[in-house]
Amino acid sequence: MYGPKNTEQVLVPVRMDLNTCFRFTCGKGLECYTKCCKDPTIMITPYDVICMKNHLGISSDEFLREYTTLGNIAGSELPVPVIKLLEGKEKSCPFLGESGCTIYEARPVSCRYYPIGAGLFHNKDAKMDENFFAFIKEDYCLGHDMGEEMTVQQWRENQGVIPYDEVNSTWTEIILKRKSMGPFINLPEKTLQMFFMGCYNIDSFRRFIFNSKFLEIYIIPDERAEQIKEDDVALLYLAYDWLKSTLYGEGLLEIKEMVISAEEAGV
């Protein structure tokens, strides 16, 4: 989800796994400090939106409008927010301050992973999704081969990546499933809007749930309906269920009997 500045040169074609060891250090003492926050391409995941907008104390609508622009997930037409860089020669990330990242505790997962690029692919033989990691080596980044040796897993733990990967895992599953359908099936614009709202604009999805006929159509237990009023992650899990049910017919949300009867009667 991190786009290096020059993809021809910097992606080291070394496949890593959780136990691969590497040495890397980063910090204010390095001459390159914050160079990685200038002119990056940073895609925002569903859990990034929740953490960043809550850290900033704004709604997801405002966060997406002020700080992101629209991109596409590679190999699909599925939309993804991308951090909108400041205008000017340096094209800095809008969260870069005088002494570093101003939202460090809520920085996006791709900034946490850096200098590792993380992704997921579907292993057809093993019939499962597998993580892959690759090393991103950019000329200006001076932290390589310095500091203590650690594994990819230790890096993930140190950088607080694990909760992000957990909450985002169903999102990546939805993306992989869309990609496996191939390029000849086009998703309608309305479906892409549903995907965007459910995955990223969580406050808009909450309004949709409570101001539309959603709760008249689907059986949502009272406890879950109460929880999603305040809990963004619980709401995101409902969005995942809704998207998987409507996009792929997975039936994760039960439809009320009277809605089915009305549909059968052609009402």
Instruction: Summarize as ranges the residues that interact with ligand SF4 (CB under 6 A).
Output: 26, 30, 32-37, 40, 42, 93, 95-96, 101, 103, 107-108, 111, 114, 140-143
CB contact set of 167 (below 8 Å; sequence gap of 6+):
46, 47, 50, 233, 236
Nearest to 214 by CA among 170, 246, 247, 190: 246
In order, the DSSP letters of 66-114 are HHEEEEE-TTS--EEEEEPPPSSSS-B-TTEETTEETTGGG--HHHHHT
Q: Residue 139 — φ and ψ, nearest 5°? A: -55, -40
* CB-nearer residue toward ligand SF4: 81 or 108: 108
* CB-nearer residue toward ligand SF4: 83 or 194: 83
Q: In whole angstroms, how close is the CB of 51 to ligand SF4 at the nearest point? A: 11
Q: In whole angstroms, how close is the CB of 162 to ligand SF4 at the nearest point? A: 18
* CB-nearer residue toward ligand SF4: 63 or 114: 114
Q: In whole angstroms, how close is the CB of 42 to ligand SF4 at the nearest point? A: 6
Query: 132 in helix, strand or coil?
Result: strand
Q: In whole angstroms, how close is the CB of 108 to ligand SF4 at the nearest point? A: 6
* CB-nearer residue toward ligand SF4: 30 or 192: 30
Do residues 49 and 57 lie in contact, with contact meaning Cβ atoms separated by under 8 Å? no
Q: In whole angstroms, how close is the CB of 84 to ligand SF4 at the nearest point? A: 11
* CB-nearer residue toward ligand SF4: 39 or 61: 39
Amino acid type, 199:
C
| Structure tokens, 145 | 């081969």
Pair type for strands 128-136 and 116-123: antiparallel
Q: In whole angstroms, how close is the CB of 66 to ligand SF4 at the nearest point? A: 14
In angstroms, the CA 49 to CA 205 distance is 13
Q: Which helix (H) or strand (E) holds 12?
A: strand 11-16
* CB-nearer residue toward ligand SF4: 35 or 256: 35
| Structure tokens, 53 | 């907008």
Q: In whole angstroms, how close is the CB of 88 to ligand SF4 at the nearest point? A: 15
* CB-nearer residue toward ligand SF4: 35 or 84: 35
In angstroms, the CA 119 to CA 78 distance is 16
